[in-house]
Amino acid sequence: MDDLSRFAINQITTRNWTLPEAIEGYARQGVGGIGVWVDYLDATGVTEAARQIRDAGLFVPSLCTSAWVNTDDVAAFDKALDENRRRLDAAAAIGAKCLVVVPGGLAAGEKDLVTARNRVEDSLAALLPDARSAGVALGLEPLHPMYAGDRSCLNTFAQCLELCDRLGEGTGMVADVYHCWWDPQFAEGLRKAGPERILSFHLCDWLVPTRDVYQDRGMVGDGVIDLSQYRRVLDEIGYDGPFEIEIFSKLDWWQRDGEETVRISIERCAPLVNRRVQENA
């Protein structure tokens, strides 16, 4: 029998479901957890969502995502920090292990990535006392370099891990294969991070060809990523945290019925999220 106790579905995978629909739909098919998105959470209400998640017996690996801080306007930057403090409180209320950090890229008219990255580090340092107080880690998720200009200037596993080293307690890594599989240092980065600093491991696949770089992620098994390789590395370092499927797919999976998406997600991910990956996988 498949062990899905560590397996979560990030609710963007079933984008057309409300948060209550996702909670009920995942729990009914035996999924262990749900990755929650802020917009869906706000629509339901934090208190009601927390109750429904608790009653369904689901764990919450993450709340997605932090508010962008890619602005050089002081007032706007401070407003973004306040919004991130609100999101940390919301994450704590629903039992989320981390707030996934996606900080934005360059400010309007900006071309200096160093300045943008320094601004992100400053924002995280300012939020750390709140994160520690809430008991919610800041989960740094390196995004593929193609996102550096707009969505995130945190772009390699090594870069984010070094930032965690500088910031210290209350930070960790959200490792997403879609963003990191290409990186020749990814596997070594997982080893260097160790199990205590990997907060969640995101599953999906890279399609060839990819028709839309933002919203054409593949279902596990449909692309070219050697997912079993990374599961072996995680076993090697003793990782015992969550596995979370997260698929942005406007051309395929978002057009399907959520029940089908959940069922196939379980079928494809079960060999990877069971206690030991099959040697012939």
- Label residue 26 by pLDDT band (50, 70, 90): very high
* CATH number, span 7-273: 3.20.20.150
Average pLDDT score over the chain: 96
In 3D space, the residue among 245, 152, 237, 133 whose CA is nearest the CA of residue 200 turns out to be 245
- Label residue 2 by pLDDT band (50, 70, 90): confident
**CB 162: neighbour CB atoms within 10 A?**
12
pLDDT greater than 70 at residue 281: no
Helix, strand, or coil (residue 256): coil
In angstroms, the CA 226 to CA 211 distance is 20
DSSP state of 200: E
DSSP H helical segments within 183-255, as ranges? Answer: 186-193, 227-237
Q: How many percent of the chain have pLDDT more than 70?
A: 97
Decide if 82 contacts 97 (C-beta within 8 A): no
pLDDT greater than 60 at residue 254: yes
pLDDT greater than 80 at residue 5: yes
Q: How many residues does the chain have?
A: 281
In 3D space, the residue among 79, 71, 72 whose CA is nearest the CA of residue 104 turns out to be 71
* Average pLDDT of span 269-279: 74
pLDDT at 265: 98
Contacts of 268 (CB under 8 A, 6+ apart): 219, 220, 221
- Label residue 277 by pLDDT band (50, 70, 90): very low
- Label residue 29 by pLDDT band (50, 70, 90): very high
pLDDT in tens, 201-221: 999 999 999 999 899 999 999
Q: How many percent of the chain have pLDDT more than 90?
A: 96
pLDDT greater than 70 at residue 275: no
pLDDT at 274: 85
pLDDT at 210: 96
> What are the two backbone dihedrals, phi and then psi, of residue 45, each rounded to the nearest 5 degrees?
100, 135
pLDDT in tens, 38-84: 999 999 999 999 999 999 999 999 999 999 999 999 999 999 999 99
Instruction: Give the residue extent of every domain in the chain.
Output: 7-273
